Amino acid sequence: MDVVYLGILAAGILVAAGWAGGIRPSVLCLVSAWLALGVFRAARRGYGGRPAQPGVLLLALVGLTAAWLLATAVPLPASVLNRAGETRAAITSRAAAAIDTATGLGWTLPARGGFSLSLNRAGTLRTLALFLAVCAAASLSACLIHPHRRRLLGFLVAFGVAQAGAACFSRYGAPATRLWWVFDVGGAATFGSFINPNHLGGLLAMLTPACIALAAVEMQNRHWRWAAVWMSALVVLVVGIVASQSRGAFILLAVALVVSAAMVSRRASRTAGVAITLLLCLGLLVFSAIDLPRIDTELRSLKESRLDSRIDVWREAGRVWRDFPLVGVGAEGFRTVSRAYDTGAFGYTAHHAESTYLQILADGGIAGVLLALLLAAAFAVCAVRSYRAGHVHDPEFTAVMGGVSVALVHGLFDVPIHVLPYALVLAALAGMLAALRRPNASGSGPRVTPWRPLVVAAAIPAPLMLCVWLLCGRDMGERDRYAFVAAAAPTQLLDNLRWTPAYWANWYYLGCAATATRDADRSRFVFGERCLTRATEMDPGNAHAWQNLAVLRRRLGDEPGTAAAVARYRELGPPPVPAPEEDQTTPENAAPPSP
């Protein structure tokens, strides 16, 4: 049955990467349900045995984290939200007052509901589906025995080679503005399954140790053909990293080489591994000395280091956490509140905190950090016990340690884990360390897994997520996307305030909708002025909002308010040309049109 589990995991990764890059919530829910059903099937195959304490603890923490994410997305009474912090209470009360005012003006809400702890309910539901998919992928990977783990490594390397080939063809062949030249993402440059070249480079660097480990083992066994195959794959991955033109990817490649050399130097394939690493370093030196005008020009034309800008975003994440210290703004909530804390130094809207660890702090607060630390500690204990018991072998040990090290370093200056293909590949690698399935004393017969009861329970929520998506419609995970808000009807915008009460676009377009007709009565203009004022509070650097607010205040006869809005508009200057989108999401950096 290992082939079945391997096929389920591989199919999930291919669907996530090939079907819109996993950006669409429908794809995310589908992949999550598919992988969870695979885990459910694995748990029903009769694997028995006494539960091992680390495995039980880890699965309990997984269930607790999933329950916490779901709890933060559930509508709660206002009395509960008011106790969660003054800032959150002020945000929800302003949104509730706007909904009541709009209802009094004759607008009707499409459905009943309330506010939740998360300031981005749509993003939290997406994160829940992503978390379940990652846990299911890691469980399937951990259920594989040694020969099939090697096959999984080979599949992941082939997957990386395909991504690198697509990136090179996109960069130097046929430039793509669609994922795989098919799926529209708003005109941003694409590289296979990725929009952000930093994420692509991180994925390729994460798979580099797997190539080195596989080639080292084949060279030790004198299987020269396969050694040549893995060395060729290694060259393609490195070329793909160069094509990504990401400085972070070059740093991650260096980390991968150092960790791989350190790992193979103490394993049975020491000589082969060190030789491969040295040859790769020599190849990089030779490559840097070759005169390739186009590549050399592009590498030299890279922007100056944006470390200062990233530091500004990290400071913004710290300010967000100080306003929401206990439970944060909710998963993916940073993207909806970031403009309120934006200093403008980053050059475009920071959808994420540019650091996985600070993202967890801002989104989850102290509770989220504690859950993340407990999960990491429980997994580390499970991995250490599995390694000491001799259930993890080369080449997967070297590949996993190198890949996980690259991902940990990558998380210092980026948030790639929210990209579904990247997250599934990392989960497939990390799951090999757990080695849940252990042979019986006789070495044959059914395998033993300590997680059967809890795995069955943990596999249930993902199919439920798919059912929830089917019942709520395709817009369940789109409500925090600029394209969705810009095209939404007024009643939909009101309902959206319950999902993302701090999102500036909701307030801006709600104000535009209230004053769309010149013959609107004064009450509508007053309501529109309040909405636009709130939009400028949540996005102080939006010149369009200040311009429209000045026009509206002039109609209402508010001369001091008009003067203040005009002064702010002149201070900001004309709206700048939006910077290129660098996030694995629907672009929303374009300035909104005037009403």
Q: What is the percent of the chain with per-residue pLDDT over 90, rounded to a whole number?
A: 15
527 in a structural domain: yes
Query: Which helix (H) or strand (E) segment is 197 a member of?
Result: helix 197-220
Residue 442 has pLDDT above 50, yes or no: no
- How many domains would you assign to the chain? 2
CB atoms inside a 10 Å sphere around CB 451: 28
The pLDDT confidence band at residue 50, using thresholds 50, 70 and 90, is very low
- Is 581 within 8 Å of 188 (Cβ atoms)? yes
The pLDDT confidence band at residue 578, using thresholds 50, 70 and 90, is very low
Residue, of 477 and 89, whose pLDDT is higher: 89
Least confident of 91-105, 293-307, 309-323, 368-382: 293-307
pLDDT score of 408 = 94
Residue 349 has pLDDT above 70, yes or no: no
Torsion sign (Cα): 310, 312, 315, 319: negative
The pLDDT tens digits for 254-263 are: 888 888 877 7
Torsion sign (Cα): 408, 410, 416, 420: negative
Q: Are residues 96 and 64 in the same domain?
A: no
Query: Which helix (H) or strand (E) segment is 235 a member of?
Result: helix 224-244
Residue, of 136 and 295, whose pLDDT is higher: 136
Q: Are residues 129 and 99 in the same domain?
A: no
Q: Are residues 206 and 136 in the same domain?
A: yes
Residue 435 has pLDDT above 70, yes or no: no
pLDDT score of 432 = 85
Q: Are residues 39 and 134 in the same domain?
A: yes
Query: CA nearest 264: which of 384, 153, 395, 403?
Result: 395
Mean predicted confidence (pLDDT) in 388-401: 77
Query: CA nearest 503: which of 85, 121, 187, 82?
Result: 121
| Radius of gyration over every alpha carbon of the chain, rounded to an integer in angstroms | 26
Calculate ∠ Cα 429-58-122, nearest 5°: 80
Residue 409 has pLDDT above 90, yes or no: yes
Q: Show the domain range for 102.
A: 90-115+489-595
Least confident of 45-59, 79-93, 472-486: 45-59
The pLDDT tens digits for 174-187 are: 777 777 777 776 66
Q: Are residues 399 and 539 in the same domain?
A: no
280 in a structural domain: yes
Residue 344 has pLDDT above 70, yes or no: no
User: Residue 100 contacts by C-beta under 8 Å, 6 or more apart in sequence?
Assistant: none
Least confident of 222-236, 276-290, 352-366, 551-565: 276-290
Mean predicted confidence (pLDDT) in 36-47: 65
341 in a structural domain: no
Where is the domain boundary, 422, 449, 465?
A: 465
Q: Are residues 128 and 109 in the same domain?
A: no
The pLDDT confidence band at residue 47, using thresholds 50, 70 and 90, is very low
C-alpha to C-alpha distances, 6 to 2, 11, 38, 139, 333, nearest whole angstrom: 6, 8, 10, 11, 34
The pLDDT confidence band at residue 155, using thresholds 50, 70 and 90, is very high
pLDDT score of 207 = 93
308 in a structural domain: no
pLDDT score of 126 = 87
Residue 121 has pLDDT above 80, yes or no: yes
Calculate ∠ Cα 103-93-543, nearest 5°: 85
552 in a structural domain: yes
Q: Please enumerate, as own/partner, the contacts of 413-416 that have beta carbons within 8 Å and a separation of 24 or more.
A: 413/248, 413/310, 413/354, 413/355, 414/198, 414/199, 414/202, 414/248, 414/354, 414/355, 414/356, 415/352, 415/353, 415/354, 415/355, 415/356, 415/359, 416/196, 416/198, 416/199, 416/202, 416/203, 416/356
pLDDT score of 463 = 59
The pLDDT tens digits for 483-512 are: 888 888 888 888 888 899 999 999 999 988
The pLDDT tens digits for 445-458 are: 334 444 455 455 55
314 in a structural domain: no
pTM, full prediction: 0.85
Residue 475 has pLDDT above 80, yes or no: no
Residue, of 444 and 489, whose pLDDT is higher: 489
Alpha helices in 121-176 (DSSP H): 121-142, 146-172
Q: Are residues 57 and 159 in the same domain?
A: yes
Q: Are residues 95 and 142 in the same domain?
A: no
78 in a structural domain: no
DSSP letter at 178 equals E
pLDDT score of 449 = 44
Q: Are residues 404 and 527 in the same domain?
A: no
pLDDT score of 203 = 93
Where is the domain boundary, 432, 465, 498?
A: 465
Q: What DSSP string describes 458-483?
A: HHSHHHHHHHHHHHH-GGGGTTTSHH
Mean pLDDT over all residues of the chain?
78
pLDDT score of 588 = 43
Calpha distance 219→225 (Å, rounded): 9
Q: Are residues 136 and 183 in the same domain?
A: yes
476 in a structural domain: no
The pLDDT tens digits for 524-539 are: 888 989 999 999 999 8
Q: Are residues 451 and 428 in the same domain?
A: yes
pLDDT score of 225 = 87
Residue, of 191 and 520, whose pLDDT is higher: 191
Domain harbouring 587, CATH code: 1.25.40.10
Q: Are residues 438 and 510 in the same domain?
A: no
pLDDT score of 160 = 92
The pLDDT confidence band at residue 278, using thresholds 50, 70 and 90, is low
The pLDDT confidence band at residue 48, using thresholds 50, 70 and 90, is very low
The pLDDT confidence band at residue 341, using thresholds 50, 70 and 90, is confident
